[in-house]
Amino acid sequence: MTLDAALAQRLRELARGPAPLLVASDLDGTLAPIVQRPEDARVPPATLTALERLATVAHVAIVTGRDLATAAALAPVPGVEFVASHGHEASFATSTLPATGLSELIEEVTGDIETRFADTALGVERKARSVAFHYRADPSLAAPLREALRELPEGLRLQPGRLVLEVLPAGGGKGTALGALIERFLPGSLLVLGDDLTDVAMFEGARASGGRVLVLAIEGGTETPAEVVAAADAVVDQGQVDEVLALLVEALADPPPA
């Protein structure tokens, strides 16, 4: 599928706007197609190549709810930075992100949920700073899971996503994550890409940055939340992300004659 001509033009204009350009992208559902089990997710080789090329001409960062080690293993791309664990871990030194130390509390919640949902298809994903409870295999678990997580210990919060509820330290979020990237790179122009509710804070952070901004909602089927689409400038199919990245590389490498 070819990119919409108007969107292609907007991407070219963004690439030729105030420098430097920062491209901040979500990982799952945006760079990596959604799969049934999160441990099976992969960023396609063509996308890794596109990211690597882009990182030679722009600042590129992956902003994800995955922990840093997992994210870096999924996208081992030279020159790409990471803000992981929903804004609680970064691949670079930053004073912007909140400090965390709540792993015991998170483990207590995890053990409790594992006991209560022992005989169900609930998927439990332990991460470095959080735990994600996936009900993709049985969406009817949404209501009982939400009820079980209604009252969390102080210092923790609940983060809903696409067929997942995640428990993580309070604070952080992708708005905070983008703030750390803006502080580091001082971008004149920003492209942000995301597919889920957690990404809306990053979209809003980009718009508040004062730079030139383009926000793309990534669609991978019918489950992209309406809030994500509403907060974006355009919607792009997940299979078109490589094309978006490649178009930026081309525009950045070959500016039009002045």
Measured CA angle at 224 (ends 123, 6), to 5 deg: 145
Instruction: Find the binder of Mg ion among 7, 11, 14, 26 (CB under 5 A).
Output: 26
State the Cα–Cα distance between residues 132 and 147, nearest whole angstrom: 15
The two most distant CA atoms of the chain are separated, in Å, by 66
* Rounded Cα distance, 102 and 88, in Å: 12
Q: 29 vs 38, which CB is nearer to Mg ion?
A: 29
Token couple for 41: 């997710």
**Residue 28 Cβ, how far from Mg ion at the closest point, in Å?**
4
28 binds Mg ion (CB under 5 A): yes
Between 28 and 219, whose beta carbon lies closer to Mg ion? 28
Calculate Rg over the CA atoms of the chain: 18
Q: Residue 256 and residue 181: Cα distance in Å, rounded? A: 28
Compute CA distances 197 → 5, 26, 257, whole Å: 27, 11, 40
Amino acid at residue number 38: P
What minimum distance in Å lies between the beta carbon of 126 and Mg ion?
Answer: 19
CB 113 to Mg ion: min, Å: 22
Q: Which of 24, 29, 41, 240 binds Mg ion (CB under 5 A)?
A: 29
Binding mask 168-207 for Mg ion (x = CB under 5 A): ---------------------------xx-----------
Q: How far is the CB of 29 from Mg ion (least distance, A)?
A: 4
Nearer to Mg ion, 102 or 174 (CB): 174
Q: Which is nearer to Mg ion, 52 or 219 (CB)?
A: 219
- Contacts to Mg ion by CB under 5 A: 26, 28-29, 195-196
